Amino acid sequence: MTEQKIVKRLGKTSIVPPHGSEALKPLLLEGEELNQALANAKNLPQIILSSRERGDLIMLGIGGFTPLDGFMNQADWQGVVDEMTLKSGSNKGLFWPIPITLSTSKEQADTLAPGDEVALVAEDGEIMGVITVEETYTIDKAHECQQVFTTTDEEHPGVKQVMEQGEVNVAGSVKVFSQGEFPTLYPEIYKTPTETRALFEEKNWQTVAAFQTRNPMHRSHEYLAKIAIEICDGVMIHSLLGALKPGDIPAEVRQEAIKTLIDNYFKKDTVIQAGYPLDMRYAGPREALLHALFRQNYGCSHLIVGRDHAGVGDYYGPFDAQAIFDEIDKDAMLTQPLKIDWTFWCNGCQAMASTKTCPHDADQHVKVSGTKLRKALSEDQEVPENFSRPEVLQILREYYAGIAKEERAEVHLVGASAQ
């Protein structure tokens, strides 16, 4: 759907409405209602949340998963896994690409009955919310993985998460008490859908493209965002703040690098830097759909989808995440993909380009793999000057130098203890 069609559909003064709802549906309690619920929750049985479930709960709390009212029941799980469609209640028939579920042990599930209240507790002991049990059910984990991740290989980090979760899923509506550490750790960038919508209204942005990232931005990412700025009123660079796989760059380093890039290389008031509380699932195409869906709740009309969106390893083709948008109903959600080809600096063009626009051979293109970049930065080797901005490279060099120093110190301690 084009920008013009979206504006016409929404009206000239509106931003995109939430998914499946006229208004956001945040489930986060406040004030005296929160105090009373928290006091009551201290006397309830507890389910310990995984990191992924905790992030999902916070998204339910802030309205990021509008219109869901809690963790999915068996009918919705089955419908989402097999058909990407909710199958029960007032949301029956609504598009949803990835199951949002809560699990526990069979022993605990056997003690639960419909109507029971259970406290939802983070691994650090914080009571994050309460679920009112609708039902408990078992699932075929391998089937979920094959459908959602297109693999059952437990080397895939998303598959590993599912295979290691509890034996039984617990469904029910939730009340959310906390947004965790995110508002405190990232006060300048962590934003709820209510807050981003208010920002877009304030700026009079009716069409907004989200740029999803779990990495610092190099020149290709910068180019993608600037293409979107040419098309839309503005861009929200929206970074994942939850857990990543080992070896990925931590959120605080990424945020510093992105802020530096925005401050030095983007026109003022064309970009908003923001963050959200989910863990990566690395579900490739299906996760791209989820990224578009919850960006609709944040108020974005478009999602930039480039090469290997939300992928990991060699599990997905480089543009599978673009192709999947052509496989769903065009009215499944309002937020639409901005599909952009592989981008790079071309020495022949002497400019940023893509495989769609550049006439030169691949040996003219400056491309650096993540593994090669990490090795170069950690060993203080040269990185092609047209791959990344120098201010960003400096931040990353300092981070990798710190890691190398820690590793040398550990080797020294191990060596000393062995003597």
From the list 9, 40, 197, 215, the catalytic residue is 215
Catalytic residue among 52, 214, 219, 408: 214
Residue environment code for 232-262, b if the CB has 16+ CB neighbours within 10 A, otherwise e: bbbbbbbbbbbbbeeeebebebbbbbbebbb
CB 311 within 8 A of CB 33: no
215 is known as an active-site residue: yes
Sign of the torsion formed by the C-alpha atoms of 180, 192, 211 and 152: positive
Separation of alpha carbons 310 and 210, rounded Å: 14
| 347 flagged as catalytic | no
Q: Please give the backbone phi and psi of residue 290, each rounded to the nearest 5 degrees, phi first.
A: -65, -40
Q: Which amino acid is at 184?
A: T
Could you give the CA distance from residue 69 to residue 24 in angstroms, rounded to a whole number? 11
Positions annotated as catalytic residues are 214-215
